[in-house]
Structures are given as structure tokens and as C-alpha cells.
Structure 1
């Protein structure tokens, strides 16, 4: 039996493109660039969190729709789609990196087995193995694609799907707790040393267990949108209002970063609500954006944008071989 047709949200295509642009501009700061890149690109890291929320929402919503209409998850179909969506461009990028050292933006690559098992983000030493480091986010997403459907099937098997919201809240609390523990164990003893930034990336920024809040937020939105008629009605009825709230919250968020010495290890806590509004607004007001969707559909194509993201560091390095510099972390 074929899976039900997935509800389309055109606004999310725009978000995907925006997230890619944000990350590209942020990473472009490593190379020779005009001054405005530093000014606006410093917020590009938020694009990664947006990717996680989008993935959590879109993937879990597909699975929730299958459960709602078919009372089962088409696991084989799901994994086949994920394979052909991700593996071909990812494999091509790996071939370029491992076959042509000239294209590497830094000196060394992590072990090949870490890339093919999608565990490169675990204990990633950015200083010594910084080449293709941006694959860390893909590793987290792939781990999510692999494990979440299996967890969801367990909830269905034991007829406990209605309790998944409590599981998500517990998971959110756990990832925050693990981040606090990691901060105390690894960052505090090494504060004010030249090694702090490397440890911060290795122990807090890259590991899966400290970066689950974005995916959990997306799953939570998808669950309530699919199973709560009141939530869905509210979102669809107040899309324009939520859109303007989202714009206001974004501006306040940016001002706060300018004014305060923000402890970025914990920024995701605030960014949960930031992204929640972002997704909800686009779910609710996607009709507003329909008239420009066709024009940018080509650049929003999943395959094109995904390969563009995977290979952007190679292109930047090739074009700026003599202009590379280190970002101040």
C-alpha cells in the first residue's frame, strides 16, 4: 500500500534556502571577504538550528501522516527515499575530498569510516581534522533518520503514541542537562586558555546528545499539528499574526546578541522558541508566499541545495586559496 500524499508547505522551501544562505555566508568568513560579511554573517550559525527544526518537522510529519491514515509506518519506503535523497550527493562529495587533496579546505580529514557511519561529529577535533567539518550536522540528521522511525514504531507497538509528547519533553530536558554537565566538566576547567574553543566545539557544539533540541522542537510541532485539531486550526487561522510576531522576535533576538556577551553554549534554549515561531508562521501563512514559490523552486530543489551545501567549503577554498584565514571562535 502506498503512503498517503504528504501535505505541502511551500513556505518551508523558502526557509530551506534561507538556512543555506545563512550558513554559507557564515562559513565564507574563513576566507577573504568584504566587511559586510562579518557584520551579517556572524548570525549564520542559526541556519544550522533552523535545518534541525525543519528536518524534525518534515520527517516526523510524514511518519505521523502514515500512522494516521495507514496505522503503520512504511519503513522500507522511508529508508529508500532517504537513501536516494542523501547518499548520492554525499558520496560524490566524499569522492572529491578523498580523491583530490587539492580541494580540501584544511590539512586533514577524519577517518573515512567516520563519514560512512555518520559518526564524524563525535569527538570531532576541528583544529586537527577540520576538513569537511560541516558534515557534522548531516551526521546528526542521519542518526535521526535512522533511529526516530524505530522509536516511533515502539510507541505504536505498545499503543503509547499519545505519550510521545512526554518523551519529547524528557529528551529536551536531557539534552539541556547534558550540555550543562559538559560545560562544567570540559569548559570550566579550561576557561581562559587557547584550547577553550576547540574543546567547546568537540564537547558541546558537535555531539548529538547536546544538539537534540532543534529536532525535538520540530517533532513536537509536527505531532501537535497532526493530532491536535485546535493547534492546527489556531496555526492556520493566525498565520499572518504569527508571521509578524516571528519578525519581531527575530529582531529582538539579534539586538540581544549585539548588546550582551551571550554565552553561545546555551543559545539554543532561547532559539527553541525562536525557531518554533519561525516554523509555525510558515505553516500558517504559506499561502502568502505561494506567488513567489514557483520562481525560486529550482534553487529550492532539495538535491541541488543539499549538494551545494556539502561542497561549498571546497568551492570557497578553491576560489580563495590565497585568502584563507581563521575565524575568531
Structure 2
């Protein structure tokens, strides 16, 4: 047990350390975003901070970019050796990685929701609360079947896991029949064509939808697979570029000015995205903005990968990020509940200061980490070991 806990704070030779840093930032962005939404009354007189934190939902885009890179990397390495896709091995790996922790989370939370519904009916709690619980429970099948991005249940964050699972189901097939059969130039061209499809879908949706959901275009653009899978595809493009075009990597490493200029460009683009109001109804905010975000994250990832001695890579490779990266899946699943526990311990009220707001977040972050460890050890880790034995 001690060794398992110790492994959470260390990396092995097979890991790309800089990706741990990116994964840690992805989960921290999401946590800050939801923390700020829960305590938005603190930011009433801080419009800039409120705007920035409300846009940290782009951490989900970073998760997608990382997933696209890592999933395609495993498939590509197998293809290089055997000229085939091992569908059985791939789906077993994904099942044992995702399903146990996910379904354990769903069963526990749905049981709690059902108990709360019965309690609220018995005690005559607000009919609005009852209606929300009933609607969520009636649609919970969407989460169980990984279509929660189209049929929301009681959770408002599992939609992203549905998108990833849908992508995992379809992408290996496309690799086997199309992408991996092409030479590098044609494969890149085809991947970029696929990358542009969600942008086209977002534009069409934006033009056609007369009255969007709230937040703006959440149900029409933010959560469907067909309007969001470009963030996954760009991760695939980076994988292909990194492993199959050493000349471009060498060019950037030989031309430091271009390398640093691209670094500034990507980080500046992300800062620009943080300044866009989530309530905007213009076409850019709901179409090209997604591309700007995922391209910037992909660019930063690529620059970190091709130069492990760069400041970007060195920073992202810091050991402090490792436990957050390894526990990111468990934290993501449970973070709303863990956050509620942390805020209850802190006894946060309407009088909390801006300084306390930020100090309290550090406590929330530590609670997320500490409460995730036993769940990881009891649920995730045993199935990871089983996966290793089977494959």
C-alpha cells in the first residue's frame, strides 16, 4: 500500500513528464472554474477575475488534447510493429481504465440523489429541488450509456467523459481503415480535414439555432461530440507530427527565435481567450474560439515535447504536478462532492474576503488530493493491475 501511494508522487521512464504538468493544469483549471462558480458572490466586484475564472472551463479542452495525443500514440506504436489495430487490447484497456471508477461514482451518487429525492418529498422541500432531482434521475441512463453529453442526467460534468468514450469507440476504426494506411503528408492532410469538421458544425449550428440553451449554446455547441472532437484530433495531429516528422522538430530547435515566438503566440492566444465573456453571443465566441484554445494548448504541448530542456518543458515536468496528474480522473469524477466537503469544513459564508477566497482554494485543492487517494487505491489501481496481467 505504501509503495502504491509513493508511486503517485513519482514518475517512471515510460512517462512523458511534461504531459503530467499539462494534465495537472487541466484539472486545476476545471477546479478553479467550478470553485469560482460556487462562490461567485465573492467576485461580484472583481469583474476581471470573475471573467478569467469563468473561462477556465477550457481545462476540458486541454484534457481532450492530451487524450487525443496519448490514445493515438498507443495505437500508432502498435501499428508500426504489426500493421494492424489490436481492437481487443485497446477496448479492454479503455474499459478497465474508465469503467470501474466511473460506474462506482455513478452508482454511489445516483443512490444519494434518489435518497435525497425521497427525503425532500417526505419533508416537503422546495418543489424546484424535487423537480431537478426527478429530471436528473430520469435521465441518468444517459450517463450510464456514455451519452450524457446529449441527455444530461444528475451530473453536469460527465458530458466530457461521454465525448471521450464516443471518440475512443470510433477513432481506432478510422485509424485502421483510413488514417494509418496513409503516408505522413496525406495522413496529416486527412487529419486536418477531420479537424475542421467540428468548426463547420459549430458555424452551421450557430447560424441555424434561433434561441440557444443557457449558458449560450451549451447544449447545441459546448457538449456534443460533433462540435467538440477537434480538440481530440489536434492531439492526434501533434502525436503524428512529433513522432513522424523529426525535421520540423529540428528546425524549431535550431531556430530559437521562431520557437520562442511561437511560445509567446500560444500563451497570448490563451490569455486572449480568457478575456472573452461566456455570455457573448457573437459567432467567434462559439466557433473559432474553440480552435484558438485547442490549437494553443496543442502548440504548447508540442513545444514542450520537442525540447525537454526548454523552460516550458522543465516547468511542466516539476514533480509537484505528478500526483495531480495521476489522480486527475478520480478528482474529476468526485470534485463537486469533495469541494462541497471542503467548503463545509471551511464554513464559507457571504463575508469571505478575496484573499480568503484564494487561500481557501489551496485547502480545497489539498482536500481533493487527499480524498482521491483512497478511491484511487481501492477502485482504479486494482483494475490497472488487472489490465497489466491480462495484456
**Whole-angstrom distance in 1 between the partners of 2:60 and 2:172:** 22
Q: RCO (CA 8 Å, sep 6+): is it higher in 1 or 2?
A: 1
Map 1:221-260 onto structure 2 (within 5 A).
221-234=238-251, 242=259, 245-255=262-272, 257-258=274-275
Bigger shift: residues 75-84 or 235-244 = 235-244
Residue 32 of structure 1 is aligned with which of 27, 32, 39?
39
Q: Give the superposed CA RMSD.
A: 3.4
Closer/same/farther in 2, CA of residues 42 and 148 from structure 1, 3 Å limit: same
Closer/same/farther in 2, CA of residues 264 and 95 from structure 1, 3 Å limit: same
Q: Secondary structure at the match of 1:134?
A: coil
**Whole-angstrom distance in 2 between the partners of 1:28 and 1:61:** 33
**Whole-angstrom distance in 2 between the partners of 1:103 and 1:246:** 49
**Whole-angstrom distance in 1 between the partners of 2:65 and 2:301:** 8
Offset, 1:72: 2.4
Q: Which runs of 5+ in 1 are unaligned?
A: none
Offset, 1:120: 0.9
Closer/same/farther in 2, CA of residues 281 and 185 from structure 1, 3 Å limit: same
**Whole-angstrom distance in 2 between the partners of 1:95 and 1:238:** 53
Is 1:62–2:74 an aligned residue pair? yes
Offset, 1:76: 2.1
Offset, 1:117: 1.8
Q: Secondary structure at the match of 2:174?
A: helix
Q: Secondary structure at the match of 1:119?
A: coil
Is 1:277–2:305 an aligned residue pair? no
Residue 169 of structure 2 is aligned with which of 146, 160, 164?
146
Offset, 1:309: 0.7
Offset, 1:181: 1.0
Q: How high is the TM-score relative to the length of structure 1?
A: 0.80
**Whole-angstrom distance in 1 between the partners of 2:305 and 2:53:** 26
Is 1:264–2:285 an aligned residue pair? yes
Q: Which runs of 5+ in 2 are unaligned?
A: 1-11, 118-128, 351-391
Q: Which has the larger radius of gyration?
A: 2
Check conservation: 1:118, 1:143, Cα contact below 8 A: yes
Closer/same/farther in 2, CA of residues 26 and 256 from structure 1, 3 Å limit: closer
Check conservation: 1:19, 1:47, Cα contact below 8 A: yes
Q: How high is the TM-score relative to the length of structure 2?
A: 0.68
